[in-house]
Amino acid sequence: MRIVTQLIAFNRGRQLGRQLREIERSIRALPKRNRARLGTLALREIGQASRCDFPHLYGTPPQERYLPWGQGTDIGFARSRSDNPEVAMRGIALWLAVAYHETKDTPHASLQPHHRDLMRLLRELKEAHRTDDVQDWLHTPAAA
């Protein structure tokens, strides 16, 4: 049974890695202002997911709660490919939140590198948000 579990985790790691590369490309293509907004959306989604009983199943329809992994990453990934920029950003934020919780404390070695990559990407989004706030503050006209 352990071999089957490792095989499933390995395949899941490959799928998440492929999706992560495409999500990362999508994020890099966003204008800096939208990256800052995406950072806020992603942190909000992570917070909402953490309030669920099973955060890694966030975004999964209730009738499909008994799968080894939820449908949240697939739903978020599909939305991230949308032509509508708002839907795409919300899809990316959903994907980041579910993938974060799915890989957070995983015992599977094939998923641990993806968590590190996710943390790096979230840190970059956080820094973009912080830089954007500072730029807004610097360029606001002083009240006379």
Q: Which long-range contacts (CB under 8 A, 24 or more apart) does 69-76 make?
A: 69/12, 69/102, 70/98, 70/102, 72/97, 72/98, 73/16, 73/19, 73/98, 73/99, 73/102
Task: Provide, rounded to the nearest whole percent, the portion of the chain with pLDDT above 70.
Answer: 90
Please, which pLDDT band fits residue 141 given cuts at 50, 70 and 90? low
- Single pTM value for the model: 0.84
Q: pLDDT of 28-78, one tens digit each? A: 999 888 998 999 999 999 999 989 888 888 888 877 777 777 888 999 999
